[in-house]
Structure 1
Amino acid sequence: MEVKVLNNADELGKAAAAHATEILQAAIKARGRARLTLSTGASQFEFLKHFVQADLDWSKVEMFHLDEYVDLPETHPASFRKYLKERFLAHVGVERYELVNGEGNVRRNIEELNARLNEAPIDLALIGIGENAHVAFNDPPADFNTEEPYFVVDLAESCKQQQVGEGWFALNDDVPKQAITMSIRQIMKSSVIISCVPHRVKANAIKLTLENELMNEIPSTILKDHPQWTLYLDQESASASLDAGLLYKPLQTSER
């Protein structure tokens, strides 16, 4: 595990985007193509702003994403399909991509998505950490055992509160009760994982991640078991860990 603490969210996004670009460039050079998984949400704004400017042959990149609400139309402001189309796909030349569809025949959608994902390994996964330490929509207590690449989960109240707090929904009751998410085991199969986690609202989740051993009540602890995981923080998201002595000042990079 490598931890990088930057001064602010924009510097975090720029550094993580440069790192992600290097990983994808290496995959394209080695095999002529690269497979990428993207996360969404307010924590990824700065990363995506810089990432879409990357010097990459995007036509050789295939994109998947982590999750989507069940029965939420793509036209809704909180739709992650809408998010990625507007913040990523509209700005790059990615020709092959799979968007998680939570409408219609959800079981069939998942089967088709699983088949496509299983065609080849994922070179790079951008994996956020939620305020309740969830990974994708694997809320605590997370299922660490399912082998399905994507499956349907019930959303925890703490997860719904985060979505309201970020402004995607007006009330907790407006948040869908279920979502399709990439499973923990599938995420951990990615060759490289980068986590962009800025902002003070994530400080406690980061502290819990760093100070605890593997437990499904803190799903993000699983990421520490990945051999190539880099966690990008800003001063705000690192604050509780710095105060607890889990990270040390002055700090740019820390390995544990």
Structure 2
Amino acid sequence: MNIRIFNSREDLNATAAAVIAGLLLTKPQAMLGLATGSTPIGIYQHLADMYRKGQVSFARAFAVNLDEYVGLSQDHPQSYRRFMNEHLFQHIDIPIAHTRVPDGNALDLAAECAAHEQAILDHGHVDLQLLGIGHNGHIGFNEPGRSLTGSTHVVDLEERTRTANARFFGHIDAVPKQAITMGVGTILKAKQIVLVAFGADKADIIKQALTGPVTTECPASLLQCHPNVLILLDQEAGGWFN
């Protein structure tokens, strides 16, 4: 596990984007596992800028997203499909047919989960998985519990997760209570994982995930079992690390 701490978010975002771009330069047809929320926005801005400057192409790449809220149409303002289109896909040359975000509005959610998992299996694996981390240690929407589901599945969102995301919806009552998420088993099959965290409010859970016991009660702690994890933190999130 490689931990790097940055003095500025700008430097962190640039480094994460360079790691992704570097993969595409060596493997243009790579499958990227992508995340949403506030954490990766700066990274996506850097990638879009690198594309505009001719430094990287996504024309042969594939992208598969970690998760999506259940019950939101793909054009809903807070859907993750719309997020990805607005923050990355429409600014680069990736074919939309090469992108997959779970359909949270599917009539058959079990079939949609299976289709999402199969899309990854058809490619073989995710080459690089980008992750954030929740305050309770969730990765994707895999919430803490006595056990975890390995493959893509529907999950009930914890109240703390819904509260944290209420800022995007205006009120917690508008936050969906379920989501489709890539399972921890699928995440851990990625060849490389890049986890990004900002802010002092993430410091405790980052320390717990990286140095505490490996337990399903802190899903991110399972990253300790992966052979190729890059952790990118700002000073506030990584202040505990010497």
Q: TM-score of the superposition, structure 2-length normalised?
A: 0.91
Superposition pairs for residues 57-96 of structure 1, below 5 Å? 57-95=57-95, 96=98
Residue 18 (structure 1) shift: 0.7
Alignment partner, residue 163 of structure 2:
161
Give the unaligned 5+ runs of structure 2.
none
Alignment partner, residue 134 of structure 1:
138
> Could you tell me how far apart the structure 1 residues matched to 2:143 and 2:110 are?
21
Alignment partner, residue 186 of structure 2:
186
Query: Structure 2 residue aligned with 1:42, among 38, 42, 49?
Result: 38
Residue 142 (structure 1) shift: 6.8
DSSP-derived class of the 1:3 partner: strand
Task: State whether residues 32 and 64 of structure 2, in contact with CA within 8 Å, keep that contact through their aligned partners in structure 1.
Answer: yes
Kindly provide the amino acid, as one letter, of the partner of residue 57 in structure 2.
Answer: D
Task: State whether residues 4 and 232 of structure 1, in contact with CA within 8 Å, keep that contact through their aligned partners in structure 2.
Answer: yes
Runs of 4+ with >6 A deviation: none
Q: TM-score of the superposition, structure 1-length normalised?
A: 0.87
Cα 1:62–1:172, aligned 2, differ >3 Å: closer, same or farther?
Answer: same
State the percentage of identical aligned residues: 30
Kindly provide the amino acid, as one letter, of the partner of residue 164 in structure 2.
Answer: Q
How many residues end up aligned between the 2 structures? 234
> Could you tell me how far apart the structure 2 residues matched to 1:162 and 1:225 are?
27
Kindly provide the amino acid, as one letter, of the partner of residue 114 in structure 1.
Answer: E
Residue 67 (structure 1) shift: 0.2
Superposition pairs for residues 1-256 of structure 1, below 5 Å? 1-28=1-28, 33-54=29-50, 55-95=55-95, 96-105=98-107, 106-119=109-122, 120-141=124-145, 143-144=147-148, 146-148=149-151, 150-164=152-166, 167-239=167-239, 241=240, 247-248=241-242
Task: State whether residues 43 and 199 of structure 1, in contact with CA within 8 Å, keep that contact through their aligned partners in structure 2.
Answer: no
Task: State whether residues 9 and 199 of structure 1, in contact with CA within 8 Å, keep that contact through their aligned partners in structure 2.
Answer: no
Alignment RMSD (CA, Å): 1.5
Task: State whether residues 4 and 231 of structure 2, in contact with CA within 8 Å, keep that contact through their aligned partners in structure 1.
Answer: yes
Give the unaligned 5+ runs of structure 1.
242-246, 249-256
> Could you tell me how far apart the structure 1 residues matched to 2:225 and 2:115 are?
29
Cα 1:100–1:233, aligned 2, differ >3 Å: closer, same or farther?
Answer: same
> Could you tell me how far apart the structure 2 residues matched to 1:155 and 1:168 are?
15
> Could you tell me how far apart the structure 1 residues matched to 2:128 and 2:185 are?
15
Task: State whether residues 37 and 125 of structure 1, in contact with CA within 8 Å, keep that contact through their aligned partners in structure 2.
Answer: yes
DSSP-derived class of the 1:90 partner: helix
> Could you tell me how far apart the structure 1 residues matched to 2:173 and 2:46 are?
34
> Could you tell me how far apart the structure 2 residues matched to 1:48 and 1:57 are?
13
Residue 200 (structure 1) shift: 2.4
DSSP-derived class of the 1:60 partner: coil
Residue 174 (structure 1) shift: 1.8
